[in-house]
Chains A and B, each alone.
Chain A
Amino acid sequence: MKTETENNTVGPDMARRSFLRYAGIGAASVGLLAATASCHKDHAVTPSAGIDVGAGDTGILNFAYALEQLEAAFYIQVIATPYTGMSPAELTALTSIRDHEILHRNFFKAALGASAIQSLTVDFSSIDFTSRTSVLAQAKAFEDTGVMAYDGAGYLIQNPTYLTLAGKIVSVEARHAALIRDLITPGSFVASDVIDSNGLNNSLTIAQVLPIANTYLKTKVSAASYNYKAS
């Protein structure tokens, strides 16, 4: 990856570009492509088909709202059609997680009001809801990605109330992630694929998260202000 070393731009955009370059390193180490945004000039990207989260704090909140819509839809399906052999304890836990994600989704919709993006149509055709292995692996991916997304986008939030609200939600997502991981493999709640050797959770940029989310969405979501346009 080439790195710009002579960029003298001053202002918040410079901060964002630098961060994207910086965060791209972490993504490479966890096996994700980091090329999405790390070398872009910060020019405007013209939105095409699909929807865009928008700019500023509204954009970040809509980004979170998109992820919560995805998670809520996933767990609603999980509980509607339980996988073979779901234990009573698992049913209880997954029902609670469903309830939390529905509330996160509905909260963002209420908080955003007229600025909220539309309801998204999901595409879960790649998920086998009858299989415990498939469902829990997908749940792990959603929860871990959610945590890394909130951690990576937090610094872009300018309003203290919104930042605190994001913080209130991300730790609940981390609690979910730890539980799901331990349901799959006991003792994997802080495994080295999500926690670095200095005890810090990995994080992802918006431009890294949305391509993953779009895999499960018929309505493609872009974030032109944050260097990502769905293809």
Chain B
Amino acid sequence: MNLFKVIEEIEKVDPEFNERISPRRDAIKNITSFGSKVAIAALPFAVATIFKKAYGASSTPTAVNDVLNFALTLEYLESYFYNQGAASSGLIPAADATLYFNQVQADENEHVAFLKSVLGSAAIASPSFDLTAKGTFPNVLTNYTTFLAVANAFEDTGVRAYKGQAVNLIGNQVVLTAALSIHAVEARHASAIRSLRASYGATITPWITGSASVSNDTGIAAINANYGAGASGYPAENNVMQGGVDVTTLASAYGSTTPYNVACEAFDEPLDMTTVVNIVTPFFA
């Protein structure tokens, strides 16, 4: 099951998608013309309106709804995870809930609401989940250390998944900007959860680090296995080749070259659809 294939799939079934969603269209012009009167909080609803106007409320291509529902499904998974965590008595310390998890939970539920507002009556219901990932994390809702580790994995994977799909939204100001905005929020979550893990003794930084031989730093074997080179040729997180440049050869505060770990940390890597699916599939019941 593929969450972030949304736009890629939209373009496959609807080559004119960019044209439909582009501001050149009258529908979008209508949106922008009343835009100055709309509060920022209403922006996603305006986006939803754009989708409906671009396709027509009753004629949205079935495949478009299918892929949007894939995205909704991933957000369902994340919100379910945090909702279950919050509901598990004694799991999350009260201080951590107040400072961190209540907010992350709220954001993920808002992402669900956002996608449901785009899909309208076509939105699917939430599927069933197995947060133990078929027994890989049997104590995910009773052991806080495990819960934090899985949260870390979900957030880092979310960042990589959104990043991998950006190229399928090139030039699409409304949808790409919204996707990048969710992407940034997932990265903020990842940073905070990593810092929280560190505060409990885990050896981990707010950013993903690595070495020439270590491609992921989460310490979760089940996830590490999927953090290598992706099925579509995306490199692992310890990649140091950026835009054809080996960035370790660039100068740093330490001399004429850059340390390997700095080169890893300074660039987050995207992930292809297939690999994302491989990571999240065990969490579907």
A contact set with B: CB distance below 8 Å: 1-5, 7, 10-11, 14-15, 18-19, 21-22, 24-26, 28-30, 38, 76, 79, 93, 96, 98-100, 102-104, 106-107, 110-111, 147, 150-152, 154-155, 157-158, 160-165, 167-172, 174-179, 182, 186-187, 189-190, 195-203
Distance to closest chain A CB from B97 (angstroms): 10
Q: Known contacts A102-B251, A195-B107, A201-B181; can you find 12 more A-B pairs with CB under 8 A?
A: A5-B33, A15-B24, A15-B171, A103-B252, A103-B263, A104-B266, A110-B245, A151-B177, A171-B187, A176-B206, A179-B206, A199-B114
B contact set with A: CB distance below 8 Å: 22-24, 28-29, 31-36, 38-41, 43-44, 98-100, 103-104, 106-111, 113-114, 159, 163, 166-167, 169-173, 176-178, 180-192, 195, 205-207, 242-243, 245, 247, 250-253, 258-259, 262-263, 265-270
Main secondary structure, interface of A, reads helix
> What are 20 contact pairs spanning A and B, CB under 8 A?
A10-B24, A18-B28, A25-B36, A26-B40, A96-B265, A99-B262, A103-B258, A103-B266, A107-B250, A151-B177, A151-B184, A171-B183, A171-B186, A178-B187, A178-B191, A189-B100, A190-B192, A195-B107, A198-B41, A198-B111
Q: Give how many A-B residue pairs fall within 8 Å (CB-CB).
A: 255
Kindly report which residue of chain B lies nearest to residue A61, judged by CB atoms: B243
Main secondary structure, interface of B, reads helix
The reply to whether B247 and A103 form a contact with Cβ atoms under 8 Å apart is yes
Query: B182 contacts which of A4, A18, A111, A200 (Cβ < 8 Å)?
Result: A200
A21 proximity list for chain B (CB < 8 A) = 32, 35-36
Q: Which 4 A-B pairs have the closest CB atoms?
A: A187-B99, A199-B110, A174-B187, A178-B191
B113 proximity list for chain A (CB < 8 A) = 198
The reply to whether A155 and B177 form a contact with Cβ atoms under 8 Å apart is yes
The reply to whether B177 and A152 form a contact with Cβ atoms under 8 Å apart is yes
The reply to whether A100 and B265 form a contact with Cβ atoms under 8 Å apart is yes
Query: A29 contacts which of B24, B39, B177, B178 (Cβ < 8 Å)?
Result: B39
A154 proximity list for chain B (CB < 8 A) = 166, 176-177, 180
A111 proximity list for chain B (CB < 8 A) = 243, 245
Distance to closest chain A CB from B55 (angstroms): 19
Question: Chain A CB within 10 Å — which of B104, B111, B265, B266 has the most?
Answer: B266
The reply to whether B22 and A15 form a contact with Cβ atoms under 8 Å apart is yes
Complexed CA–CA distance, A4 and B33 (Å): 7
Query: B170 contacts which of A163, A168, A189, A199 (Cβ < 8 Å)?
Result: A163
Complexed CA–CA distance, A118 and B16 (Å): 40
A187 in contact with B103 given A15-B173, A167-B180, A175-B188 (CB within 8 Å): yes
B178 proximity list for chain A (CB < 8 A) = 200
B191 proximity list for chain A (CB < 8 A) = 174-179, 189
Distance to closest chain B CB from A35 (angstroms): 11
The reply to whether B171 and A155 form a contact with Cβ atoms under 8 Å apart is yes
Query: B205 contacts which of A96, A107, A189, A199 (Cβ < 8 Å)?
Result: A96
B190 proximity list for chain A (CB < 8 A) = 175
Complexed CA–CA distance, A26 and B46 (Å): 13
A1 in contact with B242 given A15-B24, A98-B253, A174-B188 (CB within 8 Å): no
Question: Chain A CB within 10 Å — which of B109, B166, B176 has the most?
Answer: B166
A190 in contact with B103 given A22-B32, A150-B180, A155-B172 (CB within 8 Å): yes
